[in-house]
Structure 1
């Protein structure tokens, strides 16, 4: 076993390194790549994906895995082999030509989407989206081998979870959130933030906030992008944010959100570097980290009290009377089109809309031609007002352009996980509010590092949450937290 396992892990180390390079190409494309380079980048991405696919399906892999599994006795080796076998079996089902074509098309599609979004022209993007969906359906069918195609795609982001399980969980969330949303919107709203906030000062503040939450800038960087994201793992983990002179919260909370993702990657045990265990175990667990950093910690009454002082230092008197008023403004429930700018209460309703639509697209029950109308109808039904333009509706997210079907539901699953983790964190750190009130997140982020982040891919996703909290994941803690928080803010 020793020789086979050693050879396998050496081979995997090079494969992981090449995958990291592919990720860096994506980061470059979203941040500093010249717009005119898009056609060449598509070819580069396709070529690199062909190399990666060849390595992931290398005939020696099966022999190495079988020989290694026969003698694996420790938990780390068994976990490494579990991930490697899952990846090998998945890659072996997908033809190399399809993997390469998907990489080429989705790379080019990002530019088409960006231009269509800027022009508010869904029709300009629709043919490209049809091509992406056709390729992803073909891939899903190859993976499912007669089973549910959407479940096969979902497993790329949340192994061990099915759409039916998520539908049941989200079915319990949606009516409760809708009732709470309606009550909050009928109550007297907190005052919105007023004034202009210098973008350079916003970026300076975000660096301070990133470091306050434990982001290691010696192994990371903060850049601007149209759609904030986190990229990388191990020793090179980068984030992006965006600024709006009218709305500094967009920059502040996008940054804290992405820092949650980045700290997860930075805090994984160094022994797992460039191995299958060296990345977050699933997108649901990843989102649990970004959402708990952003919401339960970053939007808490204690932390916003400290943040109020930081805002005054950065921008002077911006018209909000005191810490209590600032807390209410940060958590203001308000109508809006954009998922990433949504308040904490309504966010999941945005995700559930996308979950239902993308399942219908993959199943063939909804055509791309009818997608914009379907989006607009569902949005009006859920939120009570009409979408005014495509960039505020069906074109607002980059995900479908790059083929991430099955990704959206992990946002809400991550919120559910975050609710469970927050309840356990409160039990473990009784004086959490006192510390957050001083801008000190170390007890909270340290607990998350110890109980979630350091493990990387060692455990299955739901096992990570169950071990950290002592109970199986449930939507109940999230609903209890939201009801308590917004009932207090809005005197419901």
Structure 2
């Protein structure tokens, strides 16, 4: 076999094993017995040891050196495999295995601490995770910035300084717009209770309306909604609240955006380095445009209003215009995943600064709760009332995902760019969405972005889809236009 063919055969097996490891993580969040956490940690560690050995196998370097690059696709395969290999050889195998075991166990301890509002119970294991991640980051940075090295796992080619510059430019505009909005009367919200089973039925309807293929996926409940898998097995979760059905519906649409990206990647790339989303920022662009620009649009919420009336009867909102206002209400809240479009990025910016300090050593885990509460009060103007609404609300740090949070806001920036291009390309968009038909929008996204998987770098992926250099300006213009109209500014 030619070197490239041998490399791809080896890579296919590695990717398949990675999918198996991912399925263990999905099971841990959805169906695993609570008492199995310690054993699952050992299982995850064993899988990571095998995967790390394959990703750092010396033969990969030989194959990469000898591989003949004949076109853009083979060049992209070589680029992505080399990036993975270069990372893997810098991280000691024992460290990779220990991280897999500790973060698997930490996930369960986080869930228990969150349920009990018990930060001290979580601090020791988070200290262990942070220490291990700092060690990993130092190995990856090779003398450079530790946090920059971590960001490369989620948004290759981007630095903390570049992200920070975007955030610094956006923050004053977001704060000013929020202040103007909050001076206006708040719209009425939904009233009553909403049966959890009926919420899940509508969640399935929404998932299918946005193109999620249930023949290659499933929808379950979890503490923290997420999407898992790629190719022909892509699974999502959501959660329900008896008094807040939007939590379920928009979490579902958000995760469907992630899942459809994975399902729509060309089957030519199945179980290869190009067979999954190219970065978390690009991934978030899909989940956020599905959830917000499409799912919270005036056109689509009119259709959703009818769906909710049919299932729940009178829920305190009289007409589609009032429902649109309720869906897009700007109000005080603690939870990032439940935040309105206007305030969401402020939640992300808080986490970006705190985790950057955690990795540099400027902030220790023992001081995290106080730092979070102080920053939140400063940014939002009111105090955190309980840990599950504060530093215990997100799963990310327990599983070692440092450098992940800023990609949420990068995703919003990319989504703003994509939405501008989409509206020009699909002039009948609102007419279709008003019927609950998202196919023209999701079809455009599949054609211009999703099907290509990891073929291009993250920025080139957005440039190719939009035909322009991505900036935060389209997002801010969209937010100002939408919320100025909603709140008569």
Q: TM-score, normalised by structure 1?
A: 0.99
Describe the SS at the equivalent of 2:236: strand
- 1:300 matched to 2:281? The reply is no
Q: 2:358 pairs with 355, 358, 361, which one?
A: 361
Residue in structure 1 matched with residue 488 of structure 2 by the alignment: 491
Misfit runs of 4+, over 4 Å: none
Cα deviation, residue 150, structure 1: 0.2
After TM superposition, the structure 1 = structure 2 runs for residues 207-286 of structure 1, keeping only pairs within 5 Å, are: 207-286=204-283
Deviation at 1:193, TM superposition (A): 1.3
**Alignment partners' CA distance in 1, 2:162 and 2:427:** 33
How big is each residue's C-alpha offset from its partner over 1:211-249, in whole Å with a ceiling of 9 and x where there is no partner?
000000000000000000000000000000000010000
Partner Cα separation in structure 1 for residue 314 and residue 128 of structure 2: 51
1:123 aligned onto 2:120: yes
Which residue does the alignment assign to 1:172? 169
1:477, distance to aligned residue in structure 2 (A): 0.2
1:189 partner SS: coil
| 1:290 aligned to which of 287, 291, 308 | 287
What is the number of equivalent residue pairs in this alignment? 489
In 2, the alpha carbon distance for the partners of 1:190 and 1:114 equals 33
1:241-262 Cα distance to aligned partner (Å, 9 max, x none): 0000100000000000000000
Matches within 5 A, 1:80-479: 80-479=77-476
Q: CA deviation at 1:336?
A: 0.5
User: How far, CA to CA, are the matches of 2:310 and 2:190 in structure 1?
Assistant: 16
- Contact kept, 8 Å, 2:195 with 2:242, in 1: the verdict is yes
In 2, Cα distance between the equivalents of 1:220 and 1:60? 35
Please give the alpha-carbon distance, in whole angstroms, between the structure 1 residues aligned to 2:120 and 2:30: 26
Counterpart CA distance in 2 for 1:196 and 1:113 is 29
Secondary structure class of the residue paired with 2:468: coil
Q: 5+ unaligned residues in a row in structure 2: which ranges?
A: none
Specify the SS of the correspondent of 1:72.
coil
Contact 2:210 2:442 in 1 (8 A): yes
- TM superposition shift of 1:467: 1.1
- Separation of aligned partners in 2, 1:58 and 1:198: 52
**CA-based RMSD:** 0.6
CA-CA distance at 1:129 after TM superposition: 0.6
The residue that corresponds to 2:21 in the other structure is: 22
Q: Hey, what's the Cα distance between the residues in 2 that align with 1:319 and 1:157? A: 42
What is the match of residue 51 of structure 1? 50
Distance 1:39 1:367 in 2: 26
Deviations 1:295-338 (A, max 9, x none): 00000000001110001011112121100000000000010011
CA contact (8 A) 2:189 2:317 kept: no
Aligned equivalents of 1:127 and 1:198: distance in 2?
38
Helix, strand or coil at the partner of 1:218: helix
2:7 counterpart residue number: 8
Deviations 1:104-161 (A, max 9, x none): 0000000111111111111111111111011001111101100000000000000000
SS at match of 1:222: strand
SS of the residue corresponding to residue 240 of structure 1 reads strand
User: Counterparts of 2:311 and 2:82 in 1: how far apart (Å)?
Assistant: 51
Deviation at 1:73, TM superposition (A): 1.5
| Residues in 2 aligned to 1:62 and 1:351: alpha-carbon distance in whole angstroms | 38
* SS of the residue 2:341 aligns to: coil
- Alpha-carbon distance, 1:377 to partner: 0.5
